[in-house]
A and B are shown apart, each in its own frame.
Chain A
Amino acid sequence: QSVLTQPPSVSAAPGQKVTISCSGSSSNIGNNYVSWYQQLPGTVPKLLIYENNKRPSGIPDRFSGSKSGTSATLGITGLQTGDEADYYCGTSDSSLSAGVFGGGTKLTVL
């Protein structure tokens, strides 16, 4: 059971928008920055969003992040078949003195 809770799967049609939620608590998301990662099949995770809503260079603005209270959300617009991947949220947990990840969400672009 992961400390951060994500839906196991989401799906949407090409060109549409999808959101992926990440729920935590005051010891993690509530008081720390959230990052989001994309893991394409057979590859290592890639940073999409850091510090809640910032994009590393090279990440298109189709990807966005937000945080409210103890929850965070990843948004993807203009869905492409190449976006099919597993998506993970992550942050630090002050009570555990450790990093934590969500269980991952598999995105299917129908």
Chain B
Amino acid sequence: EVQLVESGGGLVQPGGSLRLSCAASGFTFSSYWMTWVRQAPGKGLEWVANIKQDGSKKNYVDSVKGRFTISRDNAKNSLYLQMNSLSAEDTAMYHCVRAAYSDEGFDHWGQGTLVTVSS
């Protein structure tokens, strides 16, 4: 069974940093592009960043470029999101997602980890 379990969220002050982790199991992690998707409270889905199977290619939504860094460790079956210079607009549930199909077709979603940016 495919499982994606996020951790690392919490309350952080504006300008602070957090590192999110996603532990993957039940599939060959190194064979898939992986993505972070966030959802602010009461709002829609927002694609944040993705990373190629071997980590050689990464993409980001404009609003996080230069602040967030996506990475992965295939030996540990883990995905990460380093978030710096956080602002209230980054408050959201962050989901780790597996892209199984072409053009960001996401077949498995983690339950998410909540990031709250507030003073």
Contacts and interface: CB of A to CB of B under 8 A. Distances in A.
Interface in B12-26: none
A99 B35 contact: yes
A97 interface: yes
Contacts, number: 75
B103 A35 contact: yes
Interface of B: 35, 37, 44-47, 50, 59-62, 95, 100-107, 109-112
Contact of A47 (B35, B46, B105): B105
Interface of A: 2, 32-35, 37, 39, 44-47, 50-51, 54, 56, 86, 88, 90-92, 96-104
A96 B35 CA distance: 15
Contacts of B100: 50
B60 A98 contact: yes
Given A47-B106, A51-B102, A99 B44 contact: no
B62 A50 contact: no
Contacts of B105: 33, 35, 47, 50-51, 90
B109 A90 contact: no
Given A90-B45, A98-B47, A98-B61, A37 B110 contact: no
